[in-house]
Amino acid sequence: IIKLKNESEKLWEKIIEKTKIIHNNREKVIPEIENEIVSLLKELAMPDAIFKIELKSDTQYNINGNDKIRFLFSANKGTEPHEIGKIASGGELSRLMLAVKSTISGKNLIPTLFFDEIDTGVSGETAGKVGTIMKKMSADMQLIAITHLPQIAAMADFHLNVVKEIKNEKPVTRIFYLKSEERINEIARLLSNEKITDAAKMTAKELLNFN
């Protein structure tokens, strides 16, 4: 029993030593991550955004150490940052998540990212900036995005059209690879009402940089 207790104490010493290393490494990189995310948020039309990572040691240990981490955020000048889930609106959350994932993508940690309407709550010039950041991300990894915004859809290198149908009283999803003219038509559809107009097609060509 004494021998096992001594071994246990030595193991706990190693655990504490390793968790201190993990904690110190996190402390070192937090300012860099905060600055990178705030810089991206400014690009996404949030000039007064604040993003903070709160790091505190806890008494509970697990495979990731013993830190408790909170992400704090404020979009407006003069507003104290609070936990993201309690303060961010839909549009703010979309842009914040894009900034976070863009930062992650630059570290080559994951080969593929899926975005399911990451552009919720954004439009106009901001949507264009969201698309530009996503385009940059796709240079280092595979990025698959579901979107209904033409400014963002037009940034893609390839387009797939997802169609839901009912067959034999059961829902069926079919995916089609779109060729040149089909890409123009689908972007134009996003720009139109019921009827695709020539003006919408012209705009679609401009967005796609088609001559």
Q: What is the pLDDT of residues 65-94, one digit of tens each?
A: 999 999 999 988 888 899 988 888 777 888
The span from the CA of 26 to the CA of 20, in Å, is 10
The span from the CA of 62 to the CA of 54, in Å, is 18
- Residue pair 112/101 in contact by the 8 Å Cβ criterion: no
Q: What is the pTM of this model?
A: 0.73
Provide the residue type at 157 as one letter.
D
Q: How far is CA 124 from CA 138, 143, 146, 159, in A?
A: 22, 22, 18, 21
Residue 53 in this model has a pLDDT that exceeds 70: yes
> What is the percentage of the chain residues whose pLDDT exceeds 90?
48
Rounded to 10 degrees, what is the CA torsion of 95, 96, 97, 98?
Answer: 50
Burial of 28 (0-12, 13-18, 19+ CB in 10 A): exposed
Q: What b-and-e string marks burial along 191-203, b requiring 16 or more CB atoms within 10 Å of the CB?
A: bbeeebeeebbeb
